Amino acid sequence: MDRTPIELESFHHVYNRGTDKRVVFNNVEDYKFFIGYLNILNDVEIKNSHVPATIRNGVSHSQETDRLVNIIAFCLMPNHFHMLLQELTAGGISKFMQKLSTGYTMYFNEKNNRSGALFQGRFKSKFVDSELYLLKVIDYIHLNPKNLPGSLNYEWSSFHDYSGVNKFGDILQIDALDGITEIPKGEEYSIWLSSQGDFGDIDHLSIDSKEVPTGR
């Protein structure tokens, strides 16, 4: 896949899925581990995915942590994930995603007595080149489980934090959008999201030209 050079403070829709579209999150423990690593590995000082248990078991980092990226939105589905990331340091997105993919694969393989690749190659990314696309991508990510029962209460999504519930603490940096765009907040965002669903104008930001949020 062609890659747009990643510049500081630029936004990118980042995603990957299991090799052969296999399930990569089997249960609550798997989702929680991946989300924990979103927090832990987003740190300039942590150079690789071999995180000591004393750090891994921590709830969150200090506000003083130097982050590699801002995590603006995410959704974890059984066989893939989506994130909206903002580059904060040179090579930050690549470093963060490499640590995240390697660390989670090591955890998953050890837990399930398997070996080899878990994800479908290197992560994919698309440059978000306008305010319209920025808003659309956030909605696209949060509507990924739209065909699942109770989709707006889907647990493994940053939707909750946009709708006024502080579910994921310091993992998200939604305030990075301040001064860049305006997005409804709290109950207004829930109402707004329920009216969305036309993503034809961001087909170029999808995993492939046929993908729409399906909940699968």
DSSP state of 39: H
What b/e sequence results for 171-196 when a residue is b if at least 16 CB atoms lie within 10 Å of its CB, and e otherwise?
bbbbebbeeeeebeeeeebbebbeeb
pLDDT tops 50 at residue 58 = no
Domain segments of the chain as ranges: 11-204
Give the pLDDT band of residue 215 (cuts 50, 70, 90): very low
pLDDT tops 80 at residue 55 = no
Q: Which CATH class is domain 11-204?
A: alpha beta
CA distance 27 to 192: 30
**Percent of the chain predicted with pLDDT > 70:** 77
Give the pLDDT band of residue 23 (cuts 50, 70, 90): very high
What strands, in cross-sheet order, belong to the sheet with 69-77?
69-77, 80-87, 11-17, 124-127
Which pLDDT does position 213 carry in this prediction?
38
pLDDT digits (tens, 9 = 90+) for 145-172: 876 655 667 899 999 999 988 899 889 9
Strand runs labelled E in the chain: 11-17, 69-77, 80-87, 124-127
Which pLDDT does position 153 carry in this prediction?
75
Which pLDDT does position 204 carry in this prediction?
57
Give the pLDDT band of residue 88 (cuts 50, 70, 90): very high
Which pLDDT does position 214 carry in this prediction?
35
Sign of CA dihedral 38, 39, 40, 41: positive
Dihedral over alpha carbons 216, 23, 6, 171 (to 10 degrees): 90
pLDDT tops 50 at residue 11 = yes
**Mean pLDDT of the 43-67 span:** 64
Poorest-confidence range of 18-27, 86-95, 129-138? 129-138
Is residue 85 a contact partner of residue 67, using CB atoms and an 8 Å limit? no
